[in-house]
Amino acid sequence: MRIITLANQKGGVGKTTTAINLATALAAIGERVLIVDLDPQGNASTGLGIDKEERTLSSYDVLADKIPLSEVAIQTVVPNLWIVPSTMDLLGVEMEIAALPDRTTRLKSALGDAQDLFSYVLVDCPPSLNLLTINAMAAADSVLVPLQCEFFALEGLSQLLRTVEMVRQTINPQLIIQGIVLTMYDGRNNLANQVVDDVRAHMGDKVYETVIPRNVRISEAPSHGKPAILYDLKCSGSQAYLQLATEVIRRERRLKAA
């Protein structure tokens, strides 16, 4: 089982969209994939068509009460893809577990008990470097960072990388950066091209070759409760996510072998 955490403390950079579409691409090639929705907003859950009423058990119950993932994970509209949904209850969980000695490793323990059920787990983080994101990093083999192609793309990245380093030094020595994916790229915009060049200059081969274009079909898909890849496979955004999936798999195989 490979665990990939999608993190960036900025909101609206494409974490959830990337989690949903990468997971769908992996599921489509026969991997058994689990998304863990760790954002109280629950966008990954909604985007995969999970109604609020269906969320009787959620990531809150996993973290607060140690309910096993096997009881909480729900099958989605995508074959081979399950989700641990989230609810607003998550907003309170930090306070509830803050004083517990295992506060940073509760997700790790839960996933450890689900080793045989899934081949890939993608953890969709909230837009914050809080205890939820720390739990996600503590549990992960690698971190995938979506960066929006906008002027302030690199701002905040060093703080994120410092957090990864802190987790590596304290809780999870094997943690590495899977890669950085540039999202919402608009080729007509000169600034976007400059951002791509800047990020590649700073981060080198950590940056995936695939760049996700800004694409209206991608933004429409969640309101239909489907991944873009199911909603419109041919659109440029879906095609880019399929390409990203091949890069992620290539890197995971290399990391696993190392």
* 149 touches ligand ADP by CB under 6 A: no
Q: How far is the CB of 32 from ligand ADP (least distance, A)?
A: 23
- Given a contact cutoff of 8 angstroms between Cβ atoms, the answer to whether 144 and 183 are in contact is no
Residue that the structure tokens 């074959």 belong to: 79
Up-side HSE of residue 65: CA atoms within 13 Å toward CB?
10
> Minimum Å distance from CB 107 to ligand ADP?
18
Which of these ranges, 10-18, 22-30, 49-57, 158-166, lies near ligand ADP under the rule CB under 6 A? Answer: 10-18
Tokens found for residue 194: 């400059």
Nearer to Mg ion, 2 or 15 (CB): 15
Taking the least distance from each CB to ligand ADP, the nearer of 75 and 219 is: 219
**Rounded Cα distance, 244 and 231, in Å:** 18
Q: Which residue is closest to Mg ion by CB?
A: 16
- With CB under 6 A as the contact rule, the residue among 2, 14, 42, 235 that binds ligand ADP is 14
Residue choice 9, 12, 96, 128 for contact with ligand ADP (CB under 6 A): 12
CA distances from 178 to 114, 133, 159, 247 (A): 22, 16, 17, 10
* Strands 33-37 and 2-6, sheet pairing: unpaired
Tokens of 38: 């760790």
Task: Give whichever of 142 and 239 is closer to ligand ADP, judged by the CB atom.
Answer: 239
Q: Interface with ligand ADP by CB under 6 A: which range of 68-76, 197-205, 210-218, 242-250? A: 210-218
* Beta strands in 102-230, from DSSP E residues, in sequence order: 120-124, 142-148, 176-185, 207-213
Sole binder of ligand ADP in the list 140, 184, 207, 245 (CB under 6 A): 184
Beta bridge partners of 176: 142
Q: Which residues bind ligand ADP (CB under 6 A)?
A: 11-17, 43, 127, 183-184, 212, 214-215, 218-219, 222, 237
